[in-house]
Chain A
């Protein structure tokens, strides 16, 4: 299982702040997981699809597409940050 968290605009658009899913066997990295979620269609494809300004973290560190993901990881998707 992996835990996936969603924040800010993504949380609202996807209608959830977190979920736990079994890591699909074909998914090896962050980009793979994003593609897996996009394949759900609807708002998932809309919000996480190519060209969307989505940032991500793996185990609470900022990460980019080729970052490996593994069973037990906490992965987060969110818009570019706007603090300060």
Chain B
């Protein structure tokens, strides 16, 4: 289980291979890559800058992974989140979950991402034609995280 916060890009294939390692018990690997969009709230976005709370960010994501482990059978998991200035089409976040079976891998991957959106201390500031603005939290993200309370 590991968490990395970094300015640089990541190589999805290399990360998957690294996570799989020599574990012959792994039967499924699910991954999610979040990408910077060029439009938000109807405005063109030319770039965005991510700020985070060093120390707490890693702890918060580790806690989310630990929760996922308690709910699903997971062999290993990785979260890489980028910080600093990113342009549209650039990858921003990577979640990989390895498991014996796909059901656990899919569910845990989505759970980690939904919880990260509402619990990990990152903030986005975007540059658009109307100038810089802080991205507002979405209530749909809270709803996405909340629904995991209702099902296992």
Contact = CB atoms under 8 A, between A and B. Distances in A.
Interface of A: 5, 7-9, 53, 57, 60-62, 76, 78-84
Given A57-B53, A60-B53, A81 B92 contact: no
Q: Is the interface of B mostly helix, strand, loop or mixed?
A: mixed
A5 B123 CA distance: 14
B119 interface: yes
Interface in B101-152: 113, 116-125, 134-137
Most chain B beta-carbon contacts within 10 A, residue among A9, A53, A80, A83 = A83
Given A5-B53, A9-B123, 13 more contacts: A7-B123, A8-B125, A9-B134, A60-B55, A60-B60, A61-B60, A79-B123, A79-B134, A81-B120, A83-B81, A83-B93, A83-B120, A84-B117
B71 interface: no
Contacts of A80: 118, 136-137
Given A8-B51, A8-B123, A8-B125, A82 B135 contact: yes
